[in-house]
Amino acid sequence: MKVVKKNNVSLDHYKKLFDTFYTSLCVFSNKYTNNIEISKDIVQEVFIKIWKEQIILKDDFNVKGYLYTIVKNKSLDYLKSKEYKNHVKVNNDINLSLLTSQTYFEKHVLIEETSRLVNQAVNTLPYKCKRIIHLSLKGLGNKQISEELSISLNTVKTQKRIAYQKLRPLLKSAYLLVLNLFF
């Protein structure tokens, strides 16, 4: 990955980067801090730093790793800070060696990236399919979805079948990514 500093950086470049990764990075940081508000602050600080220093991240494949690593480090810095120790009763169950391990980091990056890719793919579906898949991802069964949306059970099944046909090619790369990480 190349990190390049430039003077005239496009606002659209940063907006796209922010829109793409903000939510996933917040959820990822929350795995460390267990406080979503602090996690949002941490992620915002990361994006502000990138903006102020006018850093352009080249090589899209490694941008994710770079962002997740910075957020992990900032989250760990927070856990080691006086602010954290003063405001939160330190819990003996917090194991910094576990949180700083590469395995913990890789596991949660994989979870958040997979979730982001699935959500991104689901958002490309037609409205009806998207609503049904979102409810299904929340754990609702076909009968519950049909009752919630006031549609027939067959309509739910048909829309799910259409959604899965459209999602398979979109999520093939995510599946290959997961396989590569485990084998």
The model's pLDDT over 121-144, given as tens digits with 9 standing for 90+, comes to 888 899 989 999 888 888 889 999
CA 23 from chain centre, in angstroms, equals 6
Tell me, yes or no, if the pTM score tops 0.85.
no
Instruction: Give me the residue spans of the domains in the chain.
Output: 1-121, 123-183
Per-chain mean pLDDT for the chain: 78
Answer whether 28's CB lies under 8 Å from 68's CB. Answer: yes
| 34 pLDDT more than 70 | yes
CATH topology of domain 123-183: Arc Repressor Mutant, subunit A (1.10.10)
